[in-house]
């Protein structure tokens, strides 16, 4: 038998600490107070339960998920590098386009030389109630 604090006993027995206190008061669990005033509960600590097939399956699925996560992270890193290279290429293309636009001959400078812009005929506003 091991002597554990109330919180440790609750964790070992998978119960709430208040349940441990109630069981001490009812006499279902043996406890004593130490020099600090804490209750030490006498508990039979059972060995951990054997690993079941379900938990072994979950462990293998967890390992597979971890491997997949690592693969996705590696893929993400490669995509981030490709995106950075694409952005750098886009910046270079913008720079070249800007240079080419400056090298083009200037268009007509006076309004008379520019072709007329078609405009829609203006509509006169009317009162909706017949004025």
Mean confidence (pLDDT) of the chain: 84
SS (H, E, C) the chain: CEEEEHHHHHHHHCCCHHHHHHHHHHCCCCEEECCCCCEEEEECCCCCCCCCHHHHHHHHHHHHHHHHHHHHHHHHHHHHHHHHHHHHHHHHHHHHHHHHHHHCCCCCCCCCCCCCCCCCCCCCCCCCCCC
pLDDT in tens, 26-78: 999 899 998 988 889 988 876 555 657 777 788 889 999 999 999 999 999 99
Domain map of the chain by residue range?
2-43, 49-100
């Amino acid at each position: 038998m091991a002597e554990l604090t109330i919180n440790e006993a609750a964790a070992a027995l998978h119960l709430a600490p208040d349940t441990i206190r109630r069981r001490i008061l009812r006499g279902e669990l043996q406890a004593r107070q130490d020099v600090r005033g804490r209750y030490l509960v006498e508990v039979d600590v059972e060995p951990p339960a054997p690993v079941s097939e379900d938990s072994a399956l979950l462990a293998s699925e967890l390992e597979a998920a971890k491997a997949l996560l690592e693969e996705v992270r590696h893929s993400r890193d490669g995509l981030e590098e490709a995106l950075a290279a694409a952005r750098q290429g886009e910046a270079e293309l913008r720079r070249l386009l800007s240079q080419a636009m400056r090298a083009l001959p200037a268009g007509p400078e006076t309004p008379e030389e520019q072709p007329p812009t078609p405009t829609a005929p203006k509509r006169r506003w009317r009162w909706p109630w017949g004025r």
